[in-house]
Structure 1
Amino acid sequence: MAALQKRAVMLASIRRFFAARHVLEVETPLLCRAGVTDPNLHPFKTVLRKPGAAAGDPLYLQTSPEFAMKRLLAAGSGSIYQICKAFRNEESGRHHNPEFTLLEWYRVGFDLDRLIDEIDALLREICRDDLILEASERLSYRELFREHVGADPLSGSFEELAECSGTRGLPEAEALCGEDRSFWLDLLFSHLVQPRLGRGRIAFVRDFPAFLPSLARKKSDDPRVVERVEIFLEGLELGNGFHELTDAVEQEERFDRDLAVRKANGQSLPAKDERMLAALKNGLPDCSGIALGLDRLLMIMMQAESIADVLTFPTARA
């Protein structure tokens, strides 16, 4: 019952926060006709059958409400937020449940620095009765990687990455990652960097390599990186935010690259979200957005050992 009560207080605090800032709460479909193309995400798929029909149309449970919310932004909604369920297959463990609660919001006219300021303010408001937080940190992905891994994530050779992984207790990394730079960076960052982040304070890690999957725009002064931020607290990733990509042509090219990777990996090939692409073509306003995992945040606030401890019915007991 304690987790139920704490969750209710958290949700009320979030709604007060955005009401005071005149950000509109919205709802979008959980079942959509297009799935996510990101090779690292595995959507749940079902079939919609009309009465008496032998065949049906595929539908996907959404891994996040992002695409539908961007359609609202393009239609002139202004700044919006949503608290909803999201679904990701093949994700289960101490920090993962296939069904989880997301807070996602978009601020029209915000650059990434201004969004980070708002994330910081929101998290401090939510956590003020449970955590004493020191001043937050704003850190460079590249500098963190160099410091804790010992190689440059943008230019380091595979031989250098393999050497660094071996000397830091990850000798199996070379066999696992081969010549997939994205895989190398994900593995080394998650094992060697992330556990050190956000100890007693909120850590904002920004400016990620452009070849890692994201919907962020490239930095104008260095196209090798994108305007992306990840939020960490007590070594746990809470969210992922972008200065949002508004170029429909580049967005479709990224979808196509994702699908090529999925095909090479033998993964399913969901349809591209043509409605979202059409919205970008019509004009997405300049904005920044963020998705935060509320179950993980509740874990930290309650000092829980597992995400199952803060869920009413984890999937194993659903």
Structure 2
Amino acid sequence: MENSWKNIKENPNLRQIFEKRARIIAAIREFFVQENFLEVETPTLVPSPDPSPFNEVFKIEGKNLYLIPSPEFSLKKLLAAGLKNIYQITKAYRDWQEDDPLHLSEFTILEWYRTGADYTDLMVDCENLVNFIFKKTKNTLCPPKKTKINFQGKEIDLTPPWTRISCKEAFKKYANVSLDEFLELKNAREICRTKGYQVNKKNSWEELYHQVFLNEVEPKLPQDKPLILYDYPAPLAALSQIKKTNPKYAERFEFYIGGLELGNGYSELTDFQEQEKRLKEDIKIRRLKGMKVFDYDHEFIEALRSGLPKTAGIAVGVDRLVMLFTNISNIHEVAPLCQ
């Protein structure tokens, strides 16, 4: 369904969706006020965005500026400057090559950073935030103690604590794959070949991982209850800490509700040398894949060098939260005037 101004004018259902969207965003802000977080604003145009090879960025023609795929680097600079417990709701941009019901090139993102915390603290934050939004936006006729929502034909109980499963457990349970073995590129190729996937010498480990995850693991994750998938393999650490107790894995998690992936969080990496090494590797991969190439954010590394406190941070898709609470399956229907 398109939501041009004409359709919004003629379709009261669209107007109701956008009105609930506003209440959801208001509830998010109220939650963080109660948690004593400071709302901040950071630039959406930067000279050096996150070079993650999983996201293509938009370049401003004629300028050495890019639209941010996330406000993460700027928010961490503020943490290094001494701010604590901050959050931001902002527009972010990613150049998706294909149009699909779960992605927008221009989308709304919520990020928050809790100092003195690790990724397990953020898991609790996610449980509390989602339940707070539910209570603030539910129908007044809804029973006071009811914490269940309906999403795409599924009744989902939001009551915490939510189910938690590690990536290692999920791969074994749903794909019958030992993730410890799969971490070796040679083994990953052989496992994927045995399963019938297309495999060649150019496949990166990440590509092989996602073949199994997207086809055999993610579709089988429980959809009748919220789920936290945690301890991602170290090659997918992104900007997260490696686990001290098991360096094969990272302190990273994603949470799902009704099969909808809503957020990606982790214990933040504070080692500036390791972070610089990862950014350089990302740029190398971008060059090999023929993606836009730009210098990494040296100011971000300098901020980490000055000292970043122990912190956990997460990015949550606001548009997807609206999908969840309005029982909408296509993200384009919940973003006013989206392209």
TM-score, scaled to structure 2? 0.85
For the pair 1:125 / 2:150, whether they are aligned, the reply is no
> Is the Cα–Cα contact under 8 Å of residues 193 and 199 in structure 2 kept in the other structure?
no
User: 1:219-265: per-residue Cα shift (whole Å, max 9, x none)?
Assistant: 00111111001111111211100100000000000011111111222
> Is the Cα–Cα contact under 8 Å of residues 131 and 159 in structure 2 kept in the other structure?
no
1:100-115 equivalence runs, <5 A: 100-115=107-122
Residue of structure 2 in register with 1:144 after alignment: 170
- 1: CA distance, partners of 2:40 / 2:214: 33
For the pair 1:244 / 2:268, whether they are aligned, the reply is yes
Residue of structure 2 in register with 1:83 after alignment: 89
Residue of structure 2 in register with 1:301 after alignment: 325
**How far does residue 305 in structure 1 lie from its aligned partner after superposition?**
2.2
- 2: CA distance, partners of 1:2 / 1:103: 22
Gaps of 5+ in 1: 48-55, 167-172
Q: 2:32 aligns with which of 18, 24, 27?
A: 18
- 2: CA distance, partners of 1:262 / 1:242: 23
Residue of structure 1 in register with 2:9 after alignment: none
Secondary structure of residue in 1 paired with 2:21: helix
Q: How many residues align?
A: 300
**How far does residue 57 in structure 1 lie from its aligned partner after superposition?**
3.7
Secondary structure of residue in 2 paired with 1:174: coil
Q: 2:179 aligns with which of 146, 150, 153?
A: 153
Residue of structure 2 in register with 1:50 after alignment: none
For the pair 1:253 / 2:260, whether they are aligned, the reply is no
- 1: CA distance, partners of 2:54 / 2:237: 8
Runs of 4+ in 1 over 3 A off after TM superposition: 175-179
What percentage of aligned pairs have identical amino acids?
36
> Is the Cα–Cα contact under 8 Å of residues 57 and 292 in structure 2 kept in the other structure?
no
**How far does residue 94 in structure 1 lie from its aligned partner after superposition?**
0.6
Q: What is the root-mean-square deviation in Å for CA atoms of aligned residues?
A: 1.6
**Going by fraction, where is strand more abundant, 1 or 2?**
1
> Is the Cα–Cα contact under 8 Å of residues 94 and 308 in structure 1 kept in the other structure?
yes
- 1: CA distance, partners of 2:190 / 2:114: 42
Q: 1:68 aligns with which of 60, 71, 74?
A: 74
Residues 216/277 of structure 1: CA separation in 2 closer, same or farther (3 Å cut): same
- 1: CA distance, partners of 2:179 / 2:133: 34
> Is the Cα–Cα contact under 8 Å of residues 134 and 200 in structure 1 kept in the other structure?
no
Residues 155/298 of structure 1: CA separation in 2 closer, same or farther (3 Å cut): same
Q: Which amino acid aligns with 1:231?
A: F
**How far does residue 154 in structure 1 lie from its aligned partner after superposition?**
3.4
User: 1:57-82: per-residue Cα shift (whole Å, max 9, x none)?
Assistant: 41010000000000000001111000
Gaps of 5+ in 2: 1-14, 139-147, 150-156
- 1: CA distance, partners of 2:35 / 2:221: 29
Pick which of 120-129 and 8-17 moved more.
Answer: 120-129
Secondary structure of residue in 2 paired with 1:90: coil
Q: Which amino acid aligns with 1:207?
A: D
**How far does residue 187 in structure 1 lie from its aligned partner after superposition?**
2.4
> Is the Cα–Cα contact under 8 Å of residues 255 and 263 in structure 2 kept in the other structure?
yes
For the pair 1:94 / 2:101, whether they are aligned, the reply is yes
**How far does residue 30 in structure 1 lie from its aligned partner after superposition?**
0.3
- 2: CA distance, partners of 1:197 / 1:63: 27
Residues 19/177 of structure 1: CA separation in 2 closer, same or farther (3 Å cut): farther
> Is the Cα–Cα contact under 8 Å of residues 194 and 236 in structure 1 kept in the other structure?
no
TM-score, scaled to structure 1? 0.90
Residue of structure 1 in register with 2:294 after alignment: 270
User: 1:101-127: per-residue Cα shift (whole Å, max 9, x none)?
Assistant: 101000000111111111111011113
> Is the Cα–Cα contact under 8 Å of residues 3 and 311 in structure 1 kept in the other structure?
no
**How far does residue 160 in structure 1 lie from its aligned partner after superposition?**
1.7
- 1: CA distance, partners of 2:250 / 2:122: 15
- 1: CA distance, partners of 2:50 / 2:294: 7
Residue of structure 1 in register with 2:47 after alignment: 33
**How far does residue 178 in structure 1 lie from its aligned partner after superposition?**
5.6
Residues 65/291 of structure 1: CA separation in 2 closer, same or farther (3 Å cut): same
- 2: CA distance, partners of 1:101 / 1:203: 22
- 1: CA distance, partners of 2:193 / 2:177: 10
